């Protein structure tokens, strides 16, 4: 069985990257992360991530370049960890399994606070600011509203262990894989 192109999206703190990495490992999918590339770009510009995100809001070429890079990686047997990869691949006419990993806002804020060593209220403010910025940018650049974009599978991680999230993703992908020619 060959595996399709898989795109895993989700908001900050949803567990998207944790689930995507482990899913790719289990299935032998080649893993690529838009977040890693975006963080590297922030370092290249010598800016903290939140500042670079605001900077990107005024420099649409940053998002366009990142999204073009990710689409250039899109092919069967790969997993793209990126909020826009699934919707953009669909709009480009590519066959893609778009999986959405999400969680309740209060859960995501607590996770981000723990990850970033911040008080929960500060993490929540940063999370909301980032989501607001990204929402506006994605709508302006691509007319994509991630709040209404349909996914092939949505997993709410709020009350699930990471292993349970991965099991759901892996089982879904295996059920939708393409049989290899005989």
| HEC assignment per residue over the chain | CECCCEEEECCCCCCHHHHHHHHHHHHCCEEEEHHHHHHHHHHHCCCCHHHHHHHHHHCHHHHHHHHHHHHHCCCCCEEEECCCHHHHHHHCCCCCEEEEEECCHHHHHHHHHHHHCCCHHHHHHHHHHHHHHHHHHHHHHHCCCCCCCCCCEEEECCCCCHHHHHHHHHHHHHHHCECCCC
Is residue 54 in a domain? yes
pLDDT of residue 114: 96
Q: What is the dihedral of CA 58, 60, 65, 66, to 10 degrees?
A: 70
Percent of the chain past pLDDT 90, that is, above it, reads 81
**C-alpha 122: how far from its chain's center?**
22
Cα separation, 78 vs 81, whole angstroms? 10
Is residue 56 in a domain? yes
Is residue 30 in a domain? yes
Per-residue pLDDT reduced to its tens digit, 124-155: 999 998 898 888 889 999 999 998 999 999 99
pTM: 0.90
pLDDT of residue 181: 42
Q: Say which CATH number the domain at 79 has.
A: 3.40.50.300
Q: Answer whether residue 179 shows pLDDT above 60.
A: no
Residue 89: HSE in the Cβ half-sphere, 13 Å Cα cutoff: 30
Mean pLDDT, range 108-121, rounded to an integer: 95
Burial 136-172 (b: 16+ CB within 10 A, else e): ebbeeeeebebeebebbbebbbeebeeeebbbbbbeb
Domain tally, the chain: 1
Given the structure tokens 């302006």, which residue do they identify? Answer: 140
Is residue 11 in a domain? yes
Residues spanned by the domain of 46:
6-173
Is residue 16 in a domain? yes
Is residue 118 in a domain? yes
Is residue 147 in a domain? yes
Band (1; pLDDT cuts 50, 70, 90): low
Is residue 131 in a domain? yes
């Amino acid at each position: 069985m060959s595996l399709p192109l898989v795109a895993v999206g989700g908001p900050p703190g949803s567990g998207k990257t944790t689930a995507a990495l482990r899913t790719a490992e289990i299935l032998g999918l080649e893993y690529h992360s838009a977040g890693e590339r975006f963080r590297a770009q922030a370092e290249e510009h010598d800016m903290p991530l939140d500042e670079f995100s605001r900077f990107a809001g005024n420099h649409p070429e940053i998002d366009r370049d990142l999204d073009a890079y990710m689409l250039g990686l899109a092919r069967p047997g790969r997993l793209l960890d990126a909020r826009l990869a699934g919707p953009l691949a669909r709009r480009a006419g590519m066959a893609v399994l778009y999986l959405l990993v999400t969680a309740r806002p209060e859960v995501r804020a607590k996770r981000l606070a723990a990850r970033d060593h911040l008080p929960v209220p500060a993490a929540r403010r940063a999370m909301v600011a980032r989501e607001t910025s990204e929402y506006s940018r994605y709508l302006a650049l691509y007319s994509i509203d991630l709040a209404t974009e349909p996914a092939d599978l949505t997993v709410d991680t709020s009350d699930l262990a990471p292993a349970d999230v991965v099991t759901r993703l892996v089982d879904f992908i295996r059920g939708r894989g393409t049989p290899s020619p005989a």
